[in-house]
Amino acid sequence: MKKILIVEDISETQNWLKQIVGNAFPTAHIDITPTIRESIQKVDNIKYDLALIDLGLPDGSGLEVLRNIKQSLPETICVITTVMGDDMHIVAALSAGAQGYLLKEQPAEILSKQLVQLTEGIPALSPSIAQRIMEHFRLTGPVAEPDTKLTSREQQVLALIGKGLRNIDVAKDLGLAENTVASHIKSIYRKLGISSRAEASWHATQLGLGPFDKRL
């Protein structure tokens, strides 16, 4: 990790996170931004390897920063760093493309180790968050393998919503009407037996959905 962005508005927490990141990646260049606006400006000019994003920012939700990064720099690893560990925020972050979710209540040395694991392809998840995710899929996932295959277009839509794109962005990317995208998503949910974008993201990963031909 050579270039890292910390999106955090509280000065004491900024310094705390900077020390954690410095311990994990001693040679990395670290930038800190306190608002959505400043974060997006940074991302427009610098290609970051890792972004640590707080959800509660003065000018809105950190999810806006997350979505912007995933659209402009999809290769950037984005990890939520927050005190909010409820299902609503977890699902929203994962649906938007977060590759980690760390609670600030953890000891600094544990957080540093979890960040280092990112270089080995291991998601940075607080233990309590990992347990919530497992419980979520246990309760909401399909009880059996889906018996209906997705069409090529549905696979394209699933790949994009799995990356955190909104319906309007999927529609623009595929050259479809937004209501057509919504219909495809409804069909995808029915076929896979799911009910959220977090589950859709998980299935997209499991199916190995990546680059696709828009002409299909």
Bigger pLDDT: 51 or 213? 51
Portion of the chain with pLDDT greater than 90, in percent:
55
Inform me whether the pLDDT recorded for 157 exceeds 90: yes
Q: What is the pLDDT of residue 85?
A: 83
* Ranges of each domain in the chain: 3-129, 137-216
Residue-level pLDDT at 39: 96
**Mean pLDDT in residue range 155-162:** 90
**pLDDT level of residue 136 (50, 70, 90 thresholds):** low
Predicted local confidence at residue 142, as pLDDT? 53
pLDDT number for residue 214: 44
Which pLDDT belongs to residue 146?
45
Q: Which residue has the higher pLDDT, 187 or 195?
A: 187
Q: Which H/E stretch holds residue 160?
A: helix 152-162
Cα 205 to chain centroid distance, Å, stands at 13
The tens digit of pLDDT for each residue in 78-99 reads 999 999 888 788 888 988 889 9
Which pLDDT score, from 0 to 100, does residue 111 have?
94
pLDDT at 156: 92
How far are the Cα atoms of 147, 164, 191 from residue 188, in angstroms, in the given order? Answer: 12, 15, 5
- Averaged over 143-160, what is the pLDDT? 76
pLDDT value, residue 140: 59
Arithmetic mean of pLDDT, 115-129: 88
Check pLDDT > 60 for residue 216.
Answer: no
Statement: the pTM of the whole predicted model exceeds 0.85? no
* Better pLDDT: 144 or 193: 193
Domain 137-216, CATH class in plain words: mainly alpha
Assign a CATH topology to domain 3-129.
Rossmann fold (3.40.50)
Mean pLDDT to the nearest integer, 121-150: 71
Q: In terms of DSSP bridges, do strands 60-61 and 50-53 run parallel, antiparallel, or are they unpaired?
A: unpaired
Of the candidate ranges 117-121, 130-134, 171-175, the one whose mean pLDDT is the lowest:
130-134
Phi first, then psi: what are they for 7, rounded to 5°?
-105, 100
Cα dihedral: 194, 197, 203, 209 (round 10):
140
